[in-house]
């Protein structure tokens, strides 16, 4: 029998359950009494792959010892949940790394019915390869309308920032986007590439971006703003750009967003 609302707080409970019964599922393992590793994450991923009726999932796995193997296994399992439309996944402060994030992105890219996604991956050292893989995977989720990505403190450079933007640019149904990318190494080239990709999200209405502590210069901010200026339907924009090397921010505000009829603009630099 399908259970519309299920809450699980131990891995053992989930693994011993009838997986096909789950439709709306909360799995909260952040206080399960031990730190979870790759074997646990792999078992969890295997179980999730059997949840063929799952449409809504909230999964809390932050501050564990999950590395590349576990991250990829979770992605593989989630990729089999083809009816999934709403996903909240907390994986911050593990050790998933570049390979694991790419595997996770590959799996999520098979969830083509996703419309709402919140993904917490801060503090996982995902690097350029991981950001690129994640962007490539999410680019297949063309039904996404609401997306929140927490990717702070991950050693993402110019290539990763650009590729992430390129991937998200394929999500043309996005209307609500929050990107937390502070404390990386995206730089001016990466910021320009990010803006170029996001400029293809022409249905974007609400956008919040945190790019603090990324070594971005004025040229990078200008390039980013030029790309984003193509999002002519944008109504609400919040940009956090402090602790970079950006000058003449007020002039950027005037020149780079004049093509957008913003209802609200918050620019912190």
In a domain, 148, yes or no: yes
CA atoms within 13 A on the CB side of 192: 9
CA distance 53 to 127: 34
In this prediction, residues 125-152 reach a mean pLDDT of 98
> Domain limits at 264?
6-268
In a domain, 1, yes or no: no
In this prediction, residues 224-230 reach a mean pLDDT of 90
pLDDT of residue 2: 72
pLDDT of residue 264: 74
Residue indicated by tokens 């996703």: 114
CA distance 193 to 186: 10
pLDDT of residue 248: 63
Q: Which domain CATH number covers 229? A: 3.80.10.10
- Bridge-partner residues for 180, per DSSP? 150, 210
CA-to-CA dists, residue 200 to 61, 62, 125, 171, 256, angstroms: 33, 32, 28, 8, 16
Describe the strand order of the beta sheet including 6-8 as a list of residue ranges: 6-8, 24-28, 56-60, 86-90, 116-120, 146-150, 176-180, 206-210, 236-240, 264-268
Higher pLDDT, 193 or 262: 193
24-55 pLDDT, tens per residue? 999 999 887 789 999 999 999 999 999 999 99
242-253 pLDDT, tens per residue? 998 887 655 455
8-25 pLDDT, tens per residue? 999 999 999 999 999 999
Q: Give the whole-number percent of the chain exceeding pLDDT 90.
A: 82
pLDDT of residue 1: 58
In a domain, 157, yes or no: yes
Q: Give the whole-number percent of the chain exceeding pLDDT 70.
A: 94
pLDDT of residue 186: 97
Mean pLDDT of all residues belonging to the chain? 92
Q: Are strands 86-90 and 56-60 parallel, antiparallel or unpaired?
A: parallel
The count of domains in the chain is 1
Question: pTM of the full predicted structure?
Answer: 0.94
């Amino acid at each position: 029998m399908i259970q519309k609302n299920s809450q699980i707080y131990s891995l053992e409970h989930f693994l011993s359950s009838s997986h096909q019964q789950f439709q709306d599922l909360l799995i909260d393992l952040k206080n399960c009494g031990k730190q979870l590793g790759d074997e646990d994450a792999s078992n969890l991923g295997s179980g999730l792959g059997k949840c063929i009726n799952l449409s809504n999932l909230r999964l809390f796995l932050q501050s564990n010892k999950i590395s590349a193997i576990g991250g990829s296994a979770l992605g593989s399992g989630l990729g089999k949940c083809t009816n999934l439309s709403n996903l909240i996944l907390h994986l911050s402060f593990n050790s998933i790394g570049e390979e694991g994030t790419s595997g996770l992105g590959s799996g999520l890219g098979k969830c083509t019915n996703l419309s709402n996604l919140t993904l917490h991956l801060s503090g996982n050292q995902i690097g350029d390869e991981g950001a690129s893989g994640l962007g490539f995977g999410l680019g297949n989720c063309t039904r996404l309308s609401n997306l929140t990505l927490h990717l702070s403190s991950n050693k993402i450079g110019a290539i990763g920032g650009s590729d992430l933007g390129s991937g998200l640019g394929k999500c043309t149904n996005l209307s609500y986007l929050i990107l937390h990318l502070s404390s990386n190494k995206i730089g001016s080239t990466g910021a320009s590439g990010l803006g170029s990709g996001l400029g293809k999200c022409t249905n974007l209405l609400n956008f919040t971006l945190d790019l603090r502590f990324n070594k971005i210069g004025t040229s990078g901010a200008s390039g980013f703003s030029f790309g984003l200026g193509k999002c002519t339907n944008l109504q609400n924009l919040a940009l956090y750009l402090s602790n970079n090397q950006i000058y003449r921010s007020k002039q950027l505000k005037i020149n780079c967003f004049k093509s957008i009829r913003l209802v609200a603009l918050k620019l912190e630099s």
